[in-house]
Amino acid sequence: MQCVVRTYIDKYTNPTSSLSRKLREGYKVLMVNRIGSGDYERLEYILEKKENEQMETIQP
C-alpha cells in the first residue's frame, strides 16, 4: 500500500506530525520530491507499507 504525505513550511518551522505518524505505522519512505519554491516550498514523501510486514522495534 502506498500513500503521499506533504509537509509545508509554516513560518520558520516545517511540521512533520503526519509523516511521523505514518512512519510509526510501519510505512517506509520510497522517494522525496521538492515542490514549489520560496515561501511555498514543501516536501512530498512517497511512502509504502507492505501488507503483513512486521515492523522492526528499535531499542535505545
Could you tell me which residue, 1 or 10, shows the higher pLDDT? 1
Whether the predicted pLDDT of 60 surpasses 90: no
At 50 the pLDDT is 84
Cell of 32: 522525496
Q: What is the pLDDT of residues 7-51, one digit of tens each?
A: 877 666 667 888 899 999 999 999 999 988 877 778 899 999 987
Cell of 60: 535505545
Domain residue ranges of the chain, discontinuous segments joined by +:
2-48
| DSSP symbols for 1-60 | -EEEEEEE-BTTB---HHHHHHHHTT-EEEEEEEES-GGG-EEEEEEE--TTPPPPPPP-
- Grid coordinates 505514518 are at which residue? 22
At 45 the pLDDT is 94
